[in-house]
A and B are shown apart, each in its own frame.
Chain A
């Protein structure tokens, strides 16, 4: 087959190849350049020439005029001589550019720009676009000043300043961009951000504090000449936040789910994986062979515990309403088996709900106790009256216990009977209040348990209002508990000082009144025997000590002791007691309404997702010099946290972002390359269609020219001969496309140039396959040519190509044609 090229057509093809590649490259490069020029002009039109503008505002189009007017006002006041340009409006936003007057392009002005332009209507701020500049982003705030100082030492840097979480480095000239960029890269490479993470379950109370302490431990060791604690206490990564939330959720659900303890019946051996259907009612322990229903509660044994007991999870149903049940094994046929265990269920979710309920009720009552101090005061008044009465009696010693004395005492006690009775009532009431206060404290501690369960992690920011409210509630409850404890203690003290004496006096009153009555009747009989009275007095238990104690009570001191009670209840009001109650009710309402089986399923799902993932615990971040001793640092950190599970990762100290315009230019360069590549591909298809389709179509009929018997090739030559059209088409396509791509400067990002060889080969093969569809050969003419003794070249030049589509090949061929 190769013989066909020997008569001159090969030269035609070669000339065509060189010219077509050259022209296509030129055209593709031209298209790319035109596109580049167009986009560059568009970009310049949009954002001005390089260095023309410094600030870029996006303002609401409907507020454009107001915003521009305000910007002009600020300019007039703060940076006079600066220019404003209103750019295009897209999607309801209008671009407004501000070019600072040259004398205001100073560090002081740039640092204060936020303060100048903070109240532009319809705008949420501005972007800096001063050029030439480079930006260092993701810089920890506490080391920004250090890096600014170092950046400003670089030759070519005008100055640097902080812009949010980034450092903006302004250059003197655009030509110094590369050099400054390299210097900044070197600067960043000199530092590293050590991120120290803790595995799931490892609690660090205060990572910022931990970071500070760790910094002190590491300073000057392990080659750490510079170390700064840059721990923010906040996670910045969404994925981390998600993992953290899931871990917290799992922790909560585990605390919330019913805890199941399975105690196998004697002689029964249970294993993890076994399932038990529960019968809570001892009267109805079920029977073997019954079908397990969807509403039955089923426990799955999960692990073995001490003393033959096992732990389990409720995988179907809910434990509400019972805490103990008889468990029957569930068979493979989903039928109940023999009684296998006693199942004890501890349901924190129900306990928590009950604690909340009780706390809310009790706090409601606390709110209705403002009269408490007045009751206590009445006790004091009654006590004062009693004390005065006691003091009026002289000679109340035991040695004076005679009938008159008893009579006097009886009269006295009768006289203060009302006071005593009131005191007793008030003290009973106070005791009840004290008990309620104790209960309220218990309830509130239950509430705290909930708020601290894990639903409310330290980082409130990720959990929105609910998290924040719950956190505040936790603090308020903490304060309330402390207050209530003080009050309960004060009440307890108060009551304990009076109560025994009052009870004693009350007992006396009753007894002496009855005794005095009887004594009147018995007086004659006993005839004034002092001993008998003494005996009687002892019988009723009257001692001078009790009376003496009462008379000596420091009522003024006790009154003072009431002060915290009075102030306390006022404080309770100030603590927004009702608000706290309201929040607690909200939390009660927002407790998950999950059945145990749903909790189990959720935990299983969470485990599946979390499985194999390294859970982000709190992290400590340290900014250090990059050339530290990694192994030594690891050792010291592990030692500090007393864990070898702590993960240490060195991250770049910051990210150098290229100049926006440079980036746009680079992107435009890529666009140019891509457009050129597309142009090359289109041209390849066009050129193959116009010029190569007739040639490839002819290759389908080579046997007309060169009979099989003519082929003298052997071995590889014969193989080449046989597959000649395929090799020609794929080879030409590959070489043509690759060469044109190379010459035109076309490129597609992430698509190596070598791949164009394959694409070209595919295009060639496709065209060979489809050639006769793209170019309808007139075989009669071809056969006539062969019959007239024409060679392949003549047939191509005089018959096939002139009948084809106009193109480069036809143009070139025309020079060679005899019959023009």
Chain B
């Protein structure tokens, strides 16, 4: 747990989002400190994914403010927003790899677009692939990989940019249970190495209990409970917390 004196890497104030007349986010306030891993849990439709998509404005919030590295994200002009997005890694539930590119190209893609030479970009891509254990699959195409491997490529793609913040949108939700572990292992390794600050949306209670600095329970667009895993998973104060506690025991 970081002290209050430390400047948060990400600060969210009163974030609101509605789709049509349905309020998805209701005044979310959140601070995420550098090196910290926060895991957001909650039932489907409670606004978890919307929250992290609002952070890099893949989804535009209706109200509230977001600060990243001290700069307000909301209201940034397009060019600056794009630059900001490059500093926030994003791992998707569906991997979102570029099918026409092989694994190495997928991972080095953003680096090449940023202007790095092919050699530099590929060197960094190899490093990232090594971290996720896929160096040998560098020249395979996404269609030739398992789901777990594809997600690991997705993680490598985000890592290659060495972002100060990584957002994870249910990274294991689309995987077979057998393949989930290979992704979880990577994520836990990243947490252990403190390579980056992470905000993770997941239902993996075990992973949360092991890896999170803080766990946030959301329900109906609001944060209903927040705290260290030991506290919120052993003595939850919220109904959602109770459910996850039971889930952990099973």
Question: A interface vs B, CB < 8 Å?
Answer: 3, 703-710, 778, 780-781, 783-791, 794, 798-799, 802-803, 818-819
Look across to chain B and name the residue whose beta carbon is closest to the beta carbon of A708: B60
Q: 7 tightest A-B contacts by CB?
A: A789-B86, A707-B60, A784-B96, A789-B85, A787-B90, A780-B96, A788-B110
With A3-B78, A794-B113, A819-B112 known as contacts, the answer to whether A786 contacts B58 (CB < 8 A) is yes
With A783-B92, A783-B96 known as contacts, the answer to whether A788 contacts B109 (CB < 8 A) is yes
Q: Enumerate chain A residues within 8 angstroms of B94, measured Cβ to Cβ.
A: 780
With A781-B99, A802-B100 known as contacts, the answer to whether A704 contacts B58 (CB < 8 A) is yes
Look across to chain A and name the residue whose beta carbon is closest to the beta carbon of B85: A789
Look across to chain B and name the residue whose beta carbon is closest to the beta carbon of A712: B77
- Residue contacts A-B, CB under 8 angstroms, 18 given: A703-B60, A705-B78, A707-B60, A708-B60, A778-B99, A780-B96, A781-B96, A781-B98, A783-B96, A786-B85, A787-B96, A788-B110, A788-B157, A789-B110, A790-B110, A791-B78, A791-B79, A791-B82
Question: B interface vs A, CB < 8 Å?
Answer: 56-58, 60, 74-75, 77-79, 82-86, 90, 92, 94-101, 105, 109-110, 112-113, 157, 161
User: CA of A430 to CA of B90 in the docked complex: distance in angstroms?
Assistant: 136
* Chief secondary structure at chain B's binding surface: loop
Shortest distance in angstroms between A384's beta carbon and chain B's nearest beta carbon? 137
Shortest distance in angstroms between A703's beta carbon and chain B's nearest beta carbon? 8
User: CA of A802 to CA of B105 in the docked complex: distance in angstroms?
Assistant: 14
Shortest distance in angstroms between B19's beta carbon and chain A's nearest beta carbon? 13
Contact between chains at A799 and B98 (CB < 8 Å) = yes
Shortest distance in angstroms between B201's beta carbon and chain A's nearest beta carbon? 15
Can you add 11 more A-B contacts, CB < 8 Å, to A709-B75, A784-B90, A786-B85? Answer: A778-B99, A781-B96, A784-B92, A788-B113, A789-B86, A790-B82, A791-B78, A798-B109, A819-B101, A819-B105, A819-B112
User: CA of A778 to CA of B58 in the docked complex: distance in angstroms?
Assistant: 16
With A710-B77, A781-B99, A802-B100 known as contacts, the answer to whether A787 contacts B109 (CB < 8 A) is no
User: CA of A686 to CA of B153 in the docked complex: distance in angstroms?
Assistant: 37
Shortest distance in angstroms between A778's beta carbon and chain B's nearest beta carbon? 7
Look across to chain B and name the residue whose beta carbon is closest to the beta carbon of A797: B113
User: CA of A706 to CA of B82 in the docked complex: distance in angstroms?
Assistant: 11
Contact between chains at B113 and A790 (CB < 8 Å) = yes
Q: Enumerate chain B residues within 8 angstroms of A791, measured Cβ to Cβ.
A: 78-79, 82
User: CA of A798 to CA of B97 in the docked complex: distance in angstroms?
Assistant: 13
Q: Enumerate chain A residues within 8 angstroms of B92, measured Cβ to Cβ.
A: 780, 783-784, 787
User: CA of A783 to CA of B57 in the docked complex: distance in angstroms?
Assistant: 11
User: CA of A799 to CA of B101 in the docked complex: distance in angstroms?
Assistant: 10
User: CA of A818 to CA of B101 in the docked complex: distance in angstroms?
Assistant: 12
Q: Enumerate chain A residues within 8 angstroms of B90, measured Cβ to Cβ.
A: 784, 787-788
Q: Enumerate chain A residues within 8 angstroms of B60, measured Cβ to Cβ.
A: 703, 707-709
Q: Enumerate chain A residues within 8 angstroms of B95, measured Cβ to Cβ.
A: 780
Q: Enumerate chain A residues within 8 angstroms of B99, measured Cβ to Cβ.
A: 778, 781, 803
Q: Enumerate chain A residues within 8 angstroms of B98, measured Cβ to Cβ.
A: 781, 784-785, 798-799, 819
Shortest distance in angstroms between A40's beta carbon and chain B's nearest beta carbon? 48
User: CA of A563 to CA of B90 in the docked complex: distance in angstroms?
Assistant: 136
Q: Enumerate chain B residues within 8 angstroms of A704, measured Cβ to Cβ.
A: 58
User: CA of A818 to CA of B112 in the docked complex: distance in angstroms?
Assistant: 7
User: CA of A296 to CA of B208 in the docked complex: distance in angstroms?
Assistant: 107
User: CA of A268 to CA of B47 in the docked complex: distance in angstroms?
Assistant: 98
Look across to chain B and name the residue whose beta carbon is closest to the beta carbon of A709: B60
Within 8 Å by CB of B100, from A703, A785, A803, lies: A803
Q: Enumerate chain A residues within 8 angstroms of B74, measured Cβ to Cβ.
A: 709
Shortest distance in angstroms between A469's beta carbon and chain B's nearest beta carbon? 90
With A710-B78, A802-B100, A818-B112 known as contacts, the answer to whether A787 contacts B57 (CB < 8 A) is no
User: CA of A791 to CA of B109 in the docked complex: distance in angstroms?
Assistant: 14
User: CA of A744 to CA of B100 in the docked complex: distance in angstroms?
Assistant: 37
User: CA of A784 to CA of B101 in the docked complex: distance in angstroms?
Assistant: 13
User: CA of A710 to CA of B58 in the docked complex: distance in angstroms?
Assistant: 13
User: CA of A705 to CA of B95 in the docked complex: distance in angstroms?
Assistant: 19
Look across to chain B and name the residue whose beta carbon is closest to the beta carbon of A7: B79
Contact between chains at A787 and B100 (CB < 8 Å) = no
Q: Enumerate chain B residues within 8 angstroms of A705, measured Cβ to Cβ.
A: 78
Look across to chain B and name the residue whose beta carbon is closest to the beta carbon of A705: B78
User: CA of A165 to CA of B241 in the docked complex: distance in angstroms?
Assistant: 107
Contact between chains at B78 and A706 (CB < 8 Å) = yes
User: CA of A798 to CA of B94 in the docked complex: distance in angstroms?
Assistant: 20
User: CA of A803 to CA of B105 in the docked complex: distance in angstroms?
Assistant: 15
User: CA of A818 to CA of B79 in the docked complex: distance in angstroms?
Assistant: 20
Contact between chains at B96 and A818 (CB < 8 Å) = no
Q: Enumerate chain A residues within 8 angstroms of B58, measured Cβ to Cβ.
A: 704, 783, 786-787
* Among B74, B82, B86, B105, residue most surrounded by chain A Cβ atoms (within 10 Å): B82
Contact between chains at A787 and B85 (CB < 8 Å) = yes
Shortest distance in angstroms between A306's beta carbon and chain B's nearest beta carbon? 89
Contact between chains at A818 and B113 (CB < 8 Å) = yes
Shortest distance in angstroms between A776's beta carbon and chain B's nearest beta carbon? 12
Q: Enumerate chain A residues within 8 angstroms of B86, measured Cβ to Cβ.
A: 788-789
Look across to chain A and name the residue whose beta carbon is closest to the beta carbon of B101: A819
Look across to chain B and name the residue whose beta carbon is closest to the beta carbon of A706: B78
Q: Enumerate chain B residues within 8 angstroms of A784, measured Cβ to Cβ.
A: 90, 92, 96-98
User: CA of A781 to CA of B94 in the docked complex: distance in angstroms?
Assistant: 10
With A781-B98, A799-B98 known as contacts, the answer to whether A707 contacts B57 (CB < 8 A) is yes
Q: Enumerate chain A residues within 8 angstroms of B84, measured Cβ to Cβ.
A: 789
Contact between chains at B82 and A787 (CB < 8 Å) = no
Look across to chain A and name the residue whose beta carbon is closest to the beta carbon of B112: A818
Shortest distance in angstroms between A806's beta carbon and chain B's nearest beta carbon? 13
User: CA of A703 to CA of B101 in the docked complex: distance in angstroms?
Assistant: 26
Q: Enumerate chain A residues within 8 angstroms of B109, measured Cβ to Cβ.
A: 788, 798, 819
Shortest distance in angstroms between A694's beta carbon and chain B's nearest beta carbon? 13
User: CA of A334 to CA of B161 in the docked complex: distance in angstroms?
Assistant: 101
Contact between chains at A798 and B96 (CB < 8 Å) = no
